[in-house]
Homo-oligomer: A and B are copies of this chain.
Amino acid sequence: MILELLSNPPVWRARLVAICAIAVAMTFALPMNSTRAASVSVSNFKLENGMEVVVIPDHRAPVVTHMVWYRVGAADEQRGVSGIAHFLEHLMFKGTKKIAPGEFSKIIARNGGQDNAFTGQDATAYFQRVAKDRLALVMEMEADRMVNLRLRDKDVVTERKVILEERRSRVENDPANILGEQMTAALYQSHPYGTPILGWEHEIRKLDAKAATDFYKRYYAPNNAILVVAGDVTVDEVKKLARATYGKLKPQMERVRSARPKEPPHRVPIRLNLDDPRAGRATVQRYYLAPSYTSAEPGEAEALDLMMKVVTSGTTSRLYKRLVVEQKIAASAGGWFSGSGLDSGRIGVYAVASDGVAIADVEKALDAVLAEFIENGATQKELDRARYSYIASHVYGGDSQVSLARRYGWALVNGRTIADVEAWPERLEKVSVEDLQRVAKKYFDMAQSVTGVLRPTEKKNAGTKEAGDEGGKS
């Protein structure tokens, strides 16, 4: 739950949320990169209509993972229609001239496959995992709904209720997510990353077929999409199938998303305190603005990944060892670097108080760990271990067809290249202990931060609105 809250993952379709939440959080806490077995040779080409295609051969089993990524996400929404990217993603499962409403996933399932979709701030993706001999079917169906979606008012009304319920269960019922949403809104004064992917409730209520159709017509087209096929296929097979399906679609003009406003410089630390009777243990979290792999100076994102690994990630991290193991004032502690954004990234740290420990003391201890690292930096051994850990987990990730497909899809949809992805291990090798200290000093900057404190309250106090009843304030 903490991970899901902190890493602001893309919004997956509701039915698979429970399964995917942790996996997603972990995946996006890691950089979207590759250290594949040498045997895998990724290639790409373009269809005449502008659609990019990436092929990742994997002949261990006769299955394929098929993904279509659109260069559009929640951050491309117009002001006032938040949630439309995610709403449309749901509506994509309704129907076309050929597919009856609600049949898409059933057809995939009847053919022994699984399908899903998700919406992020920068991308929207649809994917299926099927037996190799069903790839043609899947490509035909996905190409069909890329341009032939039919939206009946009835379906739109029903799906809007589903999404409002999704929002209620995920955000409204969980004070940690309420606080996370408000912290994110406070972290971005101008950039649309501050708006929740699910949308603000009052704006979701107004979403209709017209808004969805406008968004669909503007952004869904072959020249705004990337096809990733991983599995038991050859490049030639994919090329032939892609031409016969996606290749028949006409490109559309104006598929380029508008530039988002750049975030103005922040000058003042921000704090949010939420006391809620539904909260579990008292928790402190902090977000800091940081660059992403796309926006960072060369080497900085890699250094941020490694620095956060050393300082905050896992039970061997500085933070965990100090607060949980040695001082025993926290029940849990950690952090992450979210570096996959198109325009910027962020880093986050958190700690959960042990019983009877004041959250202010936990926060002081957390700050002391960060301050000590800024002062003294990492040892070479810590750096090497973090580097090894990333490389290892990416090699394991390379064993998973879905992980690999997602890694390349994420990179390409944000304007990076296959070469970028493949050079990542080399870039990691170049990072020094000085680099870690430098990015820690630069980005653990309170003026760029939002701190959230969540504390449980007695039920009798819930809902009062007395002035001064601000909970965590001193």
Contacts and interface: CB of A to CB of B under 8 A. Distances in A.
A251 B185 CA distance: 40
Contacts of A364: 468
Interface string A182-215: 1101100110101100001111000000000000
B202 A471 contact: no
The 7 A-B residue pairs whose C-beta atoms are closest, nearest first, are A474-B474, A367-B468, A370-B467, A80-B261, A200-B264, A185-B189, A271-B271
Contacts of A371: 466-468
Number of copies: 2
A201 B194 CA distance: 20
8 contacts: A186-B189, A190-B200, A203-B261, A268-B274, A268-B452, A364-B468, A444-B465, A446-B467
Given A190-B195, A271-B272, A374 B261 contact: no
A196 B54 CA distance: 44
B260 A80 contact: yes
Contacts of A274: 267-268
A269 interface: yes
A80 B259 contact: yes
A22 interface: no
A272 B269 contact: yes
A178 interface: yes
Interface string A382-426: 000000000000000000000000000000000000000000000
A328 interface: no
A268 B272 contact: yes
Interface in A88-115: none
A467 B182 contact: no
A375 to B, nearest CB: 9
B178 A262 contact: no
Contacts of A265: 201-202
Contacts of A260: 79-80
Nearest to A269: B470
A445 interface: yes
Nearest to A259: B80
B189 A267 contact: no
Contacts of A271: 270-273, 470, 473
Contacts of A259: 80
Interface string A170-181: 000000001100
**Most chain B beta-carbon contacts within 10 A, residue among A189, A374, A442:** A189
Nearest to A467: B370
Contacts of A262: 80, 202-203
A468 B370 CA distance: 8
A469 interface: yes
A268 B467 contact: no
A202 B445 CA distance: 20
A46 interface: no
A368 interface: yes
Given A202-B264, A370-B467, A446-B467, A270 B473 contact: no
A79 B190 contact: yes
A175 to B, nearest CB: 9
**Most chain B beta-carbon contacts within 10 A, residue among A260, A367, A467:** A467
A40 interface: no
A217 interface: no
Nearest to A182: B268
A82 B189 CA distance: 12
A395 to B, nearest CB: 33
A203 B259 CA distance: 13
Nearest to A365: B468
A441 interface: yes
A17 interface: no
